[in-house]
Amino acid sequence: MKLANKIALVTGAAQGIGKGIAEVFAAEGANVILNDIAAPGKMEPLAQSIRKQGRRVLSVQADASNREQVEAMFERSWKELGPVDILVNNAGIETIVPFLEMTDKQWVDVTNINLKSGWLCSQVFCRRVVAEKRQGAIVNLGSIQSGKVLPGRTHYAPSKLAIEALTRNMSAEVTPLGIRVNCIHPGLIETPMTDWVMKSPEILPQVLAQISMGRAGQPNEVASVAAFLASDEARYVTGQSIFVDGGWVGK
Ligand code: NAD
């Protein structure tokens, strides 16, 4: 198992890719902290199924873009589960708004949750890991949209492209201190976020025609790459961003 006895915190773990990452990490031997802004009840079935595999689990409701809540979440994680080894910055939202109509609030909401949360959770995590002279790994979730224009995303796409720069820049500062930082850019992955695409008889075929594999990906297909990046198998990999998109951005 790639992540035996590690402790991993996954933000936005109640559904979709975050849930898939928590499941695969647990299968690879990790104990998991499930974070989401959603009520903890939403994470309970996942927590129970992970517990049944013999792993320890903690569910923490918190806004990953709020410093007070993030600091309290890491404090609780350290106390109840132990020192966290792996952070996955997965929480994110996507809205679709024409550029000329976008409001300040729409810009700030997307930027805060997609970009600031990754920076903030990473800073709180890294400060603790460095203070304890431990080692760590961070996996950030970017997007296909860091390399591809989709309409109505003049807030979302920059927030995701910036994750790539955040990954490189954090890596330059914290890798010498023992923490690797990498990023995954998912393509079209079947989750509640993309439900409207998967159910659209007009849009879905247009998108699939652009993907070399001709299909959407599943959360566990992103999760297996996250597990690799978080594991010792990727011990000489840092500051990198990898597209997990079935061959979309390169086609
Ligand atoms: P999703 O909407 O299905 O799930 C996202 C989860 O994040 C939800 O459970 C939500 O409650 C949680 N969340 C939102 N704001 C939060 C906050 N402030 N604090 C904590 N949790 C919060 O989305 P998904 O499809 O699973 O996407 C996961 C990540 O992958 C996102 O960052 C998304 O932008 C990115 N991504 C997804 C796709 C895709 O095709 N699904 C493609 C590219 C990138």
* Single-letter residue type at 206: Q
Packed helices 16-27 and 44-52: angle between N→C axes, nearest 10 degrees: 10
Q: Is residue 251 pLDDT above 90, yes or no?
A: no
Residue 222 in tokens: 């992103």
The rounded radius of gyration (Å) of the Cα atoms in the chain is: 17
pLDDT digits (tens, 9 = 90+) for 151-179: 999 999 999 999 999 999 999 999 999 99
CA atoms within 13 A on the CB side of 19: 18
Å from CA of 131 to ligand 1 middle: 30
Tell the residue nearest (CA) to atom 43 of ligand 1: 143
Tokens encoding 45: 């079935």
Note if 156 is an active site residue. Answer: yes
Q: Helix 117-131 vs helix 156-174: angle between axes, to the nearest 10 degrees?
A: 10
Could you tell me if 50 and 30 are in contact, meaning their C-beta atoms sit under 8 angstroms apart? no
Instruction: Give residue 36 CA to ligand 1 midpoint distance, Å.
Output: 10
Residue position matching structure tokens 């499930």: 34
Mutate to test the pocket of ligand 1, among 9, 10, 17, 242 (most ligand atoms within 8 A of CB): 17
pLDDT in tens, 109-128: 999 999 999 999 999 999 99
Q: How does pLDDT run across 179-212, given as a tens digit for each residue?
A: 999 999 999 999 999 999 999 999 999 999 999 9
Q: What is the pLDDT of residue 151?
A: 96
Atom number of ligand 1 nearest to Cα 20: 26
**Cβ pair 18, 46 in contact under 8 A:** no
Average pLDDT, the chain: 98
Which percentage of the chain shows pLDDT scores above 70?
100
